[in-house]
Amino acid sequence: MRSIIYLCIGIFFGIVLFKSEAASWFRIYEMFQFGSFHMYGIIGSAVGLGIVVTQFIKRYKVKSFYGDNITILPKDKSFKRYMYGGIIFGLGWALAGACPGPMFVLLGAGYLPIFIVIISAILGTFLYGVLKAKLPH
């Protein structure tokens, strides 16, 4: 039953990403050209409402649908890994025009070359795992 819920959340997310055009290479390019408010509106309104939802859940210790406590693990304090990692991610995001969510959406939408991007992203993740100890964190 829970498996079906996760699958349905994913299906809903995929539909929203495709229909919002957030999965379009063109919209990402336009965003970095400051050509339209569209992407900023999507991210801004998602974060604005996300803050309300997240802070409400934390403040009032809302229980999950299954009655468990909801814990949101904070990220470790650091600067380098987030800045360096973020810049590397941003370079790829703009070039491929897709971040990890939209990659899966585009595969489903039938853009076969995105498969190359997904395999490469898995390879990039593997490279990070191999080099992790040598990188500044």
Partner 1 sequence: MNWIYQPWPWYISGPLIALVLFLLLMVGKGFGMSSNLRTMCTLCGAGKTTDFFKFDWKTQRWNLLVALGTIIGGFIAANFLSNDTAVLMNPEVITDLQSKGFIDAGNAYMPDFLFSNEILTDPKGILLLIIGGILVGFGARYAGGCTSGHAISGLSNLQLPSLIAVIGFFIGGLVMIHIIFPLIF
State the minimum distance, in angstroms, from the CB of residue 11 to partner 1: 4
Q: What is the DSSP string of 20-77?
A: TTTT-HHHHHHHHTT--SHHHHHHHHHHHHHHHHHHHHHHTTPBPTTSPBP--PPPPP
CB 94 within 8 A of CB 32: yes
Distance of closest approach, residue 1 Cβ to partner 1, in angstroms: 11
CB of 23 to partner 1, least distance (A): 7
In order of 12, 18, 119, the CA distances from 115 in angstroms are: 21, 17, 6
Minimum CB separation from partner 1 for residue 56, in Å? 10
Tokens 């009032």 appear where? 60
Cβ of residue 4: shortest distance to partner 1, in angstroms?
9
DSSP run (H or E) holding 83:
helix 80-96
Neighbours of 11 (CB within 10 A): 11
